[in-house]
Amino acid sequence: MSPPDIPHLPEGPDLSNPIAALSISPARRMFATGLQVMLGALLIAIGLIVEPSLSSLLLVAIGAAVVWQALVFYRATSAALVLTEEGLFDTNGAELARLDNIAKVDRGFFAFKPSNGFMILLKKPRERVWRPGLWWRFGRRVGVGGATSGKAARDMADVIAILQTDRGAELIASARADAKDQDKG
């Protein structure tokens, strides 16, 4: 199975040779955004129809916040996640986690993780970042998933877990040595 097309390659990490990639299908992206916009529009409409009061103002404010959230979601899900020899990045250039900073990958039933996704526990904490529907990071925890395909997320989690083993580290070192030999020859 080949990785999905990567939307664009920014300056920064070399994403041209991914080990695995995780993206959100356009249909899933449009459906999720459409549902959020419809919910926001419904809340705004109800707030404008009912008799003016504090609760109607609150409904309009919540509806506007939901529509804003839908736009943030739509922008965030335009990126894909790419696993390279160095770590996990999104195609906008943001670094989720370096492989040498990953302590554990958890995709268990009781893990605090996004739906259709997995959790990465880091050795050293990083700054907070939130890309709704795709990934988030709070301190030492990175959640990957949300609007992603469950199977593709499980596959990526398995690949990361394999790369964390001694044999996975040997495979990466071997691939790097082969790449250097090809560059010389």
User: Residues of the chain with pLDDT > 90: what percent?
Assistant: 44
User: Which residue, among 110, 109, 107, has the nearest Cα to 145 in the 3D structure?
Assistant: 107
Question: Is pLDDT at 155 greater than 50 in this prediction?
Answer: yes
pLDDT at residue 163, as a whole number: 85
Residue whose entry in the numeric block shows the structure tokens 């580290």 = 169
User: Which residue, among 183, 176, 185, 177, has the nearest Cα to 19 in the 3D structure?
Assistant: 176
pLDDT at residue 2, as a whole number: 43
Q: Name the pLDDT band for 69 (thresholds 50, 70, 90).
A: very high
The string of pLDDT tens digits covering residues 158-168 is 888 888 887 77
The string of pLDDT tens digits covering residues 119-134 is 999 999 999 999 999 9
pLDDT at residue 44, as a whole number: 96
Question: Is pLDDT at 3 greater than 80 in this prediction?
Answer: no
Average pLDDT over residues 90-100: 88
Contacts by 70-76 with C-beta closer than 8 Å and gap 24+?
70/33, 70/36, 70/37, 70/40, 72/132, 73/32, 73/33, 73/36, 73/132, 73/133, 73/147, 74/29, 74/33, 76/131, 76/132, 76/133, 76/134
Ranges of each domain in the chain: 22-76, 86-184
Average pLDDT, the chain: 84
pLDDT at residue 16, as a whole number: 66
Question: Is pLDDT at 71 greater than 80 in this prediction?
Answer: yes
Quick check: pTM over 0.85?
A: no
Question: Is pLDDT at 138 greater than 70 in this prediction?
Answer: yes
Question: Is pLDDT at 116 greater than 90 in this prediction?
Answer: no
